[in-house]
Amino acid sequence: MAADTRTVVFGGASEYRPHYFLDEQGQARGFDVDLFRALADKAGWNTEYRLGDWGAIQQALEQGDIDVAPMFISEQRRDRFLFSTPFYTMSHRLFGIRGRDSRPSLYDLGNSRVASEQAGYGWHELQRVLDSEQVVATDSQAAAMQKVARGEVDYALVASDIGYSIIERQGLTNVVALSPPLLPVNYAFAINRDRPELVSEMNRHMESLRREGVLDELQAAWFNPADQAGWYEAWIKFRWLVLPLLMLLGLAVFQLWRWRYKLLQSLRLAESESQRRHAAEQRAEKMALYDELTGLPMTSFFREYLEDAVTHAGRNNQSLTVAVLTLLDMETIQQIAGYRVFDELIQLEAKALSREHKGFMAVLGRGQFGFIFEQDGELDKSAAQMQNLIDIASDSYEVQKIPIEPQVACGIATFPDHGHDAQQVYRAAELSMTMARIRRQPILYYEPAFEPDSRNLTLMGDLNKALQSNALSWVYQPKYCLTQSRVTGAEMLVRWQHPRHGWLSPGLFIPLAEKTGLIKSLTRSALHQAIQTVRDWGADGFDWKISVNVSGNDLADPQIVSEIIDGLDGYADLLTLEVTETAIMQDVELIIRHVEKLQAAGLKISLDDYGTGYSSLAYLKQLNFDEIKLDMSFVRNMRYLERDQKITNGSIQMGHELGATIVAEGVEDVETGMLLKKLNCDTLQGFGIGKPMSLDKFINFAKSYTLHEHSKPA
């Protein structure tokens, strides 16, 4: 294959010895740098190195200004970057002044103040466990260690290799490790999400370097096999014996006795060091392969096992199934119940799932599990087994007297149907799980349609142009008031006919708009259209109202909130803003303050999709919603499922007691509408009343429609 003359840019923190650093001549050196150069030699790349502020480096990687940056793998970072195969496993330690109390875990820090490099893996974990005022951010791990040495903080959380290197290099003889290894985590090259081909290329060459022994040679060259930390800590621990012995040896007259004594001491120390090192190697191997919380294999072990299983299946012309299952709404559970409760829930889930699954199972991330089905690799058989596991994972758990009913999303892929090697099958299962999570479905089998849409790269630029040129269109879905027996308003929805791709689903471009910030411009356009529409209706003698959906990004932005209020133009009583629980969850306290401000300006606020999250009741307690929209998942089947009918009835009664108007979404037929009328529901919305329609059609429909047993939807 012809050599690739591309320049691939390596990024990293200002100094991260022994992994990477700049020498006296300004040249990049270190284990990670040498490994990257070996990969570049294999691929034929030119290389460039940029070291600096770690937060800025991560941002540059995300924006595509650099190509590769070595870092710890975490779930949060997986959402931002792609990762190569892990090439190292590292733990962290708490370092402190000699004599300070040791801490077995981060949960035992009490009110201690802990320094850590800002935006680093350890810093994120401290933010998760400690109060914000306890976490002291520094611009480097060396700065964190220096704060400990100066007594400005109680501890520093630093990667073990880096911490010991800093102690030796800067002469911080009063700083020692005061914890066992913590946060064992895989270390790999992170790559910009738009460069999947670079991931495949790096993994291919990484495997080649591993087979050739280059990876082992580099590790031997950069990491002291004698473990300098162990020698240093042994010296601190036993110096009270060594110093007097040295004095005695200096005074000894007989050379033979001194030689004999030193020989015996050396033998004892060598035996002790050998035992200590062997135990440390066993612990390190276990930490590299097994999750500390659950005891299950971790991602690196899962990938290795899958490689072997796929190779075996290919040789024997057999199929194999991979499933990835994740718990949903983890952040909400943590916010409501706390991290310790969540950790215990993970342990219970892992125990129950491993008891049921007879094949290979691993922890792939926080609240995420992987399964391999070998003997029954056929999709139908594996799917039936996976359904049992989903039922177990979704079962009710009581953790510290707190009842929790987890929701899950699972993706399934098979070899060789969905991939010709382990990496492809694993990726297909992960992609299916991601789609299941987005669609809120418990299980999805891989489909080629799940692959990222190449149109996304240009859609946002086109959407911005469409907003500027008013090329978007709006449709109106009627809302029928049962107490007034007439249409009293509509929910306004956006539609986009792309000049090349035709009509595009809002489910495609609205999530992209939320990620890129265009959602604010879209909200401004929607509110402008809504106010213009109710103004025109008022001039024609109609009092119909309009509901507009707003996102969490909108409600968290004080400028957008002020713009909404300033633009009401006296029509606040005819406008309703619909907000989902998910939107409120983005920043609960801030959004609640902004919602109250909007209500004070006369706007009505509707809680959309009520009943689909963990915290609906909590929000009803904190906010006085003018309207509650029952989710269609309850309404659609209430004629056939007594449970759904009871939930709907109870929600209507509770909403009325709170002074809210109740809207039932998903009314698919007249019979459901008549049943909701008996349950004292206020307003109906759904295809059984009318589909979203143009403005002219809505006006004609709203003027004449009345619900009765023989009504036909528009």
Q: What are phi and psi of 119, to 5 degrees?
A: 75, 5
Cβ(351)–Cβ(418) below 8 Å: no
Are residue 206 and residue 240 in the same domain, yes or no? no
Is 464 within the bounds of a domain? no
Name all contacts of 525-534 with Cβ < 8 Å and 24+ positions apart. 525/467, 525/470, 525/472, 526/474, 526/492, 526/494, 527/564, 527/567, 527/575, 528/567, 529/474, 529/492, 530/492, 530/575, 531/567, 531/568, 531/569, 531/571, 531/575, 533/492, 533/695, 534/571, 534/574, 534/575
Q: Tell me which of 434, 450, 466 is where a domain ends.
A: 450
Are residue 389 and residue 250 in the same domain, yes or no? no
**Average pLDDT score over residue span 388-413:** 84
What does the pLDDT look like over 684-701, one tens digit per residue?
Answer: 999 999 999 999 999 999
Is 455 within the bounds of a domain? no
Residue carrying the six token digits 């509509």: 490
Residue carrying the six token digits 């619909």: 578
How far lies 673's CA from each of 52, 430, 492, in Å? 63, 40, 21
Residue-level pLDDT at 329:
76
Are residue 109 and residue 244 in the same domain, yes or no? no
Are residue 203 and residue 269 in the same domain, yes or no? no
Q: How far is CA 63 from the centre of its chain?
A: 19
- pLDDT at residue 246 is higher than 80: no
Q: How far apart are CA 424 and CA 307, in angstroms?
A: 11
- pLDDT at residue 261 is higher than 70: no
Q: Tell me which of 450, 485, 506 is where a domain ends.
A: 450
Are residue 543 and residue 672 in the same domain, yes or no? yes
- pLDDT at residue 258 is higher than 70: no
Contacts of 29 (CB under 8 A, 6+ apart): 20, 21, 22, 23
Is 712 within the bounds of a domain? no
Q: What is the dihedral of CA 98, 99, 101, 106, to 10 degrees?
A: 0
Residue-level pLDDT at 286:
44
Q: How far apart are CA 532 and CA 71, in angstroms?
A: 51
Q: How far is CA 699 from the centre of its chain?
A: 45
Domain harbouring 580, CATH code: 3.20.20.450
Are residue 699 and residue 560 in the same domain, yes or no? yes
Residue-level pLDDT at 75:
78
Are residue 626 and residue 572 in the same domain, yes or no? yes
Cβ(414)–Cβ(323) below 8 Å: no
Are residue 243 and residue 308 in the same domain, yes or no? no
Cβ neighbourhood burial of 662 (10 Å; 0-12, 13-18, 19+)? buried
Cβ(164)–Cβ(222) below 8 Å: no
What does the pLDDT look like over 463-482, one tens digit per residue?
Answer: 889 988 888 999 999 999 99
Is 713 within the bounds of a domain? no
Name which of 629, 714, 709 is nearest 671 in CA terms: 709
Domain harbouring 217, CATH code: 3.40.190.10
Share the mean pLDDT of the chain.
83
Residue with the larger pLDDT of the pair 319 and 516: 319
Q: Tell me which of 198, 222, 246 is where a domain ends.
A: 222
Which range, 234-238, 341-345, 421-425, 503-507, is most confident? 421-425
Q: How many domains does the chain have?
A: 5
Task: Pinpoint the alpha helices (H) of 85-120.
Answer: none
What are the tokens at 664? 């039932």
Query: 401: how many CB neighbours lie within 10 A of its CB?
Result: 6
What are the tokens at 398? 């009581």
Are residue 265 and residue 327 in the same domain, yes or no? no
Are residue 387 and residue 515 in the same domain, yes or no? no
Identity (one letter) of the amino acid at 23? Answer: D
Q: Report the DSSP pairing between strands 575-580 and 604-610.
A: parallel
Q: How far apart are CA 149 and CA 410, in angstroms?
A: 48
Is 588 within the bounds of a domain? yes
Is 709 within the bounds of a domain? no
Are residue 98 and residue 148 in the same domain, yes or no? yes
Are residue 199 and residue 178 in the same domain, yes or no? no
Q: How far apart are CA 549 and CA 289, in angstroms?
A: 46
Domain that holds residue 664: 477-704
Is 92 within the bounds of a domain? yes
Contacts of 594 (CB under 8 A, 6+ apart): 555, 556, 558, 561
Is 714 within the bounds of a domain? no
Residue with the larger pLDDT of the pair 399 and 588: 399
Name which of 10, 119, 11 is nearest 55 in CA terms: 119
Strands (E), 88-220: 88-97, 114-117, 135-138, 155-159, 175-177, 182-192
What does the pLDDT look like over 151-175, one tens digit per residue?
Answer: 999 999 999 888 988 998 899 989 9
Q: How far apart are CA 123 and CA 137, in angstroms?
A: 7
Residue-level pLDDT at 248:
53
Provide the pLDDT confidence category of residue 380 given band limits of 50, 70 and 90: low
Q: How many residues would you count in the chain? A: 714
What does the pLDDT look like over 84-102, one tens digit per residue?
Answer: 988 887 789 999 999 888 8
Q: How far apart are CA 711 and CA 668, in angstroms?
A: 12
